[in-house]
A = this chain, B = another copy of it.
Amino acid sequence: MRREPSQERSRATVDRILGAARTVLAERGYDGAGTNRIAAAAGVGPGTVYQYFEDKDAILDRVLEQVSEDLEARILRAFLGTLHHEHDTVRANVEMLLDALTAEPGLVRALAEHAPRTLGSRRRGFAQRVDQLVAGTLLAQHRDESARVETVAWMLVRVAEHVTISWVLEAPDVPRETLVEELSAMIGGYLARLGVPAAD
């Protein structure tokens, strides 16, 4: 008569809650993600949720953090991959960004929906890390003007992020190929001014 190790069970429960929260968030949006619904989707009682999370926001913050990290990891991997390419790094990255964001539109929407509520308070980790990653890459390719590089990175991240997100959420009458073309052109042109070879 062996009882399952408690640590392992706890871990499994937390995972189920987070997984359920992620699903609910993707399907019903931020305001539709109530604690009771999450608990039900996880197959646990409402009380169980509070064994592992301070309050409702703690759950969703964690999920959003996780979503961010998933995106970040994916983007980072792809980003680093493009550095080996001989040309059209920018375009490859835009493509990759669109792939990442189109994979789970519901979560992207939840992320976009929730972001303005917490900006200035907490959960800015994701964006900052991406900022630094991009800044670092730019710096590696173009050593001087380090001060300006941070601003450029900040701008690039916002432009790439919001144009692609808007395209996903608004579903405007613009083909993906056209979007890639134009966004790459804009970013490429901008980078060219920085002294970075446009097509690399």
Point out residues on A near B: beta carbons under 8 Å: 29, 31, 109, 112-113, 116-117, 119-120, 124, 127, 148, 150-152, 154-155, 158-159, 161-163, 166, 169-174, 178-179, 182-183, 185-186, 189-190, 192-193
CB distance from A10 to the nearest CB of B (A): 14
Q: What separation, in Å, do the CA atoms of A159 and B159 have in the docked complex? A: 6
Task: Say whether, besides A109-B116, A159-B163, A154 and B171 are in contact (CB < 8 Å).
Answer: no
Q: CA of A193 to CA of B187 in the docked complex: distance in angstroms? A: 12
The oligomer's copy count stands at: 4
| Cβ–Cβ < 8 Å partners of A183 in chain B | 155
User: B172 and A117: CB pair below 8 A?
Assistant: no
Instruction: Name the B residues within 8 Å of A117 (CB-CB).
Output: 29, 31, 113
| Residues on the B chain within 8 Å of A29, using CB | 117
Q: Specify the main secondary structure of chain A where it touches its partner.
A: helix
Minimum distance in angstroms from A184 CB to a CB of chain B: 11
Contacts of A174 in B (CB 8 A): 150-151, 154
- Partner of A186 from B112, B124, B190 at Cβ < 8 Å: B190
Q: What would be 30 A-B contacts, judged by CB atoms less than 8 Å apart?
A: A31-B31, A31-B117, A112-B116, A119-B170, A120-B169, A120-B171, A124-B170, A127-B170, A148-B178, A150-B173, A151-B174, A151-B179, A151-B182, A154-B172, A154-B174, A155-B163, A155-B179, A155-B182, A158-B162, A159-B159, A159-B163, A159-B186, A161-B162, A162-B162, A185-B190, A186-B186, A186-B189, A186-B190, A189-B190, A189-B192
